[in-house]
């Protein structure tokens, strides 16, 4: 058993063990138990921070987009869930195109949810958005789970942890706060 974990850590593709996902054992256990949410930061984008001045939510051409690597990463995210028989009860997403595209490429569906919209540059929305997410987290019941595709600022506000593009936190509710159960990093 110890040798298998050592080999798994090496990510040896000829054994069918991929180095592309880190933290999967804890994540799979938490997702199978249910009553949790996967806070997934959108996949890799074109270079930049935030969006260009004058961007509009109703016009994807004005926003920072997924890169080719991000589109491939999104598909691998969906494949990871499917290969483990993990089907989310719902896939909710920020209305930003990079989030909706990540969700649709990974799960073939996405329900826009304003609570997941970025508040980068408008920190006054942080508390109300976090409260909405905590309320929704409190309503999740086992055995199901949901995937929430969002932005780094939203995930950090809720969990206190920074996440990279294509990285996720599996969270549950404990004492009225989001509790990190697992980290999943999907390589670009």
- 97, part of any domain: yes
- 175, part of any domain: yes
pTM for this predicted structure: 0.85
Which domain range does residue 73 map to?
Answer: 20-46+60-186
Diameter of the chain measured on Cα atoms: 55
Long-range CB contacts for residues 106-111, cutoff 8 Å, separation at least 24: 106/74, 106/75, 106/77, 106/78, 106/81, 106/147, 107/78, 107/81, 107/147, 108/78, 110/149
- 3, part of any domain: no
The stretch 28-57 carries a mean pLDDT of 92
- 7, part of any domain: no
Enter the tokens of residue 53: 């001045």
Enter the tokens of residue 63: 């926003």
- 159, part of any domain: yes
* Confidence (pLDDT) at 3: 38
CATH code for the domain in which residue 182 is found = 3.40.50.1240
Per-residue pLDDT reduced to its tens digit, 70-126:
999 999 999 999 999 999 999 999 999 999 999 999 999 999 999 999 987 677 777
Decide if pLDDT at 7 tops 70: no
pLDDT band at 186 (very low <50, low <70, confident <90, very high): confident
Pick 43 or 11 by higher pLDDT.
43
User: Which residues neighbour 55 within 8 Å (Cβ) at sequence distance 6 or greater?
Assistant: 62, 63
The stretch 59-79 carries a mean pLDDT of 96
- 114, part of any domain: yes
| 168 φ, ψ (degrees, to nearest 5) | -135, 155
Total number of domains constituting the chain: 1
- 10, part of any domain: no
- 84, part of any domain: yes
Per-residue pLDDT reduced to its tens digit, 123-168:
777 778 899 999 999 999 999 999 999 999 999 999 999 999 999 9
Decide if pLDDT at 9 tops 80: no
Calpha distance 119→16 (Å, rounded): 40
């Amino acid at each position: 058993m110890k040798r298998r974990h050592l080999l798994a850590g090496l990510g040896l593709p000829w054994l069918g063990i991929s180095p592309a996902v880190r933290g999967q054992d804890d994540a799979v256990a938490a997702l199978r138990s249910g009553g949790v949410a996967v806070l997934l930061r959108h996949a890799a984008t074109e270079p930049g921070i935030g969006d260009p001045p004058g961007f509009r939510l109703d016009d994807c051409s004005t926003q920072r987009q997924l890169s080719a690597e991000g589109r491939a990463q999104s598909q691998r995210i969906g494949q990871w869930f499917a290969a483990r028989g993990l089907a989310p009860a719902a896939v909710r997403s920020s209305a930003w195109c990079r989030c909706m595209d990540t969700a649709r490429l990974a799960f073939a569906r996405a329900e826009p949810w304003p609570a997941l919209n970025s508040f980068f540059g408008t920190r006054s929305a942080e508390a109300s958005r976090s409260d909405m997410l905590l309320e929704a987290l409190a309503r999740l019941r086992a055995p199901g789970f949901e995937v929430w595709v969002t932005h780094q600022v939203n995930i950090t506000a809720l969990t206190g942890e920074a996440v990279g593009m294509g990285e996720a936190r599996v969270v549950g509710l404990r004492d009225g706060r989001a509790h990190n159960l697992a980290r999943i990093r999907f390589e670009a």
